[in-house]
Structure 1
Amino acid sequence: MTTDYHSHILPNIDDGSDSVETSLKMIKMMKRQGIGTIAATPHFHAHRTDLDSFLAKRSRAYEKLMAESPVVSDVHIGAEVAIEKGISELEGLEKLCISGTRLILLEPPFTNYSDWIVEEIDDIVNSRRLLPIIAHVHRYMGLYSKSELSGLLSVDAVFQINAEAFESFGTRRFANKLIDSGRDFVFGSDAHNMGDRKPNFDLITKRVSAENIKHSDNILKSALVNEADSEFVF
């Protein structure tokens, strides 16, 4: 069983699952695709909601889901944090990490590239002592120039690849080059529903070697072990 680092399975919190029933169906499909650990990462936008309200809503959604005993019970709550100006200075930012770790899933903006994006990521690493996971990095191929994308790939981070990247030649080539580059990487479904964005991790198991899937799984395992041995407390 493997790890899905990016999902929107928590009910009624963002544009993901619209009900507990949908969440349970998504998780059941994930299990059939070999998922044994799920990072539940609802969207967090600092300019839309305050942190405490988000955390309370996330906790309610998680508890409501887990009360129904989903077939995959190893669920780590986190967030898909939009990179905005000043996000590195947000008080309590560490509470958005994948539970039990310092790993934090960050989503670069789908706008023109700016140097402040990398500066915010660097500040999260250096000032907040967190390890970013850059969400669905392949999606920025057509948005950022080659040099801008290289700038994003230069940050001290783990790079997350969606299953969808292995559907077409261009994104599959990019994903494979990233995997072969020596950078740390993880995989995710970015599943939102049971329709057009249903769990699709089987694309990864068909296209990616068992060794590389194991590498992805080990990022979370190592983070959990290291966190257990540290004095860092959320």
Structure 2
Amino acid sequence: MIDIHSHILPGIDDGAKNIEDSLAMARQAFNQGITKVVATPHNKNGKFDNGRELILQEVKILNKELQLEGVDLEILPGQENRIYGELVEELMGSDLLTVNENGVYMLIEFPSSHLPRYANKLMFDLQVNGIVPIIVHPERNREIMENPERLYNLVKEGALSQLTGTSVTGKMGKKIQKFSLDLIQHNLSHFIASDAHNTTSRPFDLLEAFETVEKEFGISTRYMLQENAEDMVKGRMVAKEVPQQVRKKKILGWF
């Protein structure tokens, strides 16, 4: 398995606090059968600014430590970019980093409560510039939960999305789990990742998440999601089906 979203680099955001935490997280990932982890520290979220050169340096250091410790896990560079108005203008020669430096895919985070008005245009402009945006954890965005059509429109226009493993397993609550499974069922999510920050409260949880997917949708859906991660880090086209709209229940609803 390949995990495309984690906060495993030590001391640069709200993930691993030090190298010991990073090594513990790496061992947890390895024990689940994960072979590669994309390190995606927060960037431009109002609290953390982690540019390209710093991330590449920290990835190199952590990979050396893993080799010394005999942990057979490879860390790949990435970045979790909070959406901001100048993102497209700053693509060229900037501190922005695509996943594994493949020049194709970039993780984009929305505020947890809403989607900025310019989100659709920015997602389109990224694609015009050759970047495929991957919207991270849309199942935890309040506006998308209340109006799934917002995500449908973004995916229909070419964006991809990534669910968090603990959302799929139900560890973030039954409502978020149900919505996550709805997004998979309606072809609105294309990856599952851990978004791991530590080994306890926000751990690697990919194995159980994929087992949940297999139970709910069959082994072919599980394999598709796992293979999408591999194709994505290599800069290849990922599998995706025609998106469908999620219809909210009219009587009980989700809230």
The AA in structure 2 aligned to 1:145 is: E
2:248 is matched with: none
Question: 2: CA distance between counterparts of 1:190 and 1:183?
Answer: 19
Deviations, residues 77-112 of structure 1 (Å, cap 9, x unaligned):
110011011212113369511114211111012343
Query: Do residues 137 (structure 1) and 141 (structure 2) align?
Result: no
- RMSD across aligned positions (CA): 2.6
Q: CA deviation at 1:178?
A: 1.8
Q: Which runs of 5+ in 1 are unaligned?
A: 228-234
- Per the alignment, in what secondary structure is the counterpart of residue 73 of structure 2? coil
CA distance 1:82–1:174, change in 2 (3 Å): same
Contact 1:141 1:149 in 2 (8 A): no
Whether 2:37 is the aligned partner of 1:38: answer: yes
- Which residue of 1 is the match for residue 89 of structure 2? 89
The letter of the residue matching 2:208 is L
In the alignment of these two chains, the number of paired residues is 223
Normalising by structure 1, report the TM-score: 0.83
> Using the alignment, how far apart are the partners of 2:212 and 2:183 within structure 1?
14
Aligned mates of 2:188, 2:64 — CA distance in 1? 38
Matches within 5 A, 1:155-194: 155-166=157-168, 167=170, 168-183=173-188, 185-194=190-199
Going from structure 1 to structure 2, the CA distance change for 1:93 and 1:117 (only over 3 Å counts) comes to farther
**Which residue identity is paired with 1:30?**
A
Look up the match of 1:110. 112
TM superposition shift of 1:154:
3.8
Residue 32 of structure 1: CA displacement?
1.3
Matches within 5 A, 1:202-213: 202-209=207-214, 210-213=219-222
Q: Distance in 1 between matches of 2:51 and 2:143?
A: 31
- Call closer, same or farther: CA 1:69–1:84 in 2, change over 3 Å: same
Q: Which has the higher contact order (CA 8 A, sep 6+)?
A: 1
Match of 1:21 in 2: 20
2:225 is the alignment partner of 1:216:
yes
C-alpha distance in 1, partners of 2:111/2:235? 31
Structure 2: which 5+ runs fail to align?
238-255
- The answer to whether the 8 Å contact 2:105/2:132 transfers is yes
- Going from structure 1 to structure 2, the CA distance change for 1:94 and 1:211 (only over 3 Å counts) comes to farther
Counterpart residue identity of residue 108, structure 1:
F
After alignment, is 71-80 or 21-30 more displaced? 71-80
**Native 8 Å contact 1:5 1:188 kept in 2:** yes
Match of 1:6 in 2: 5
Identity of aligned residues (%): 25
Instruction: Tell me which moved more, 115-124 or 214-223.
Output: 214-223
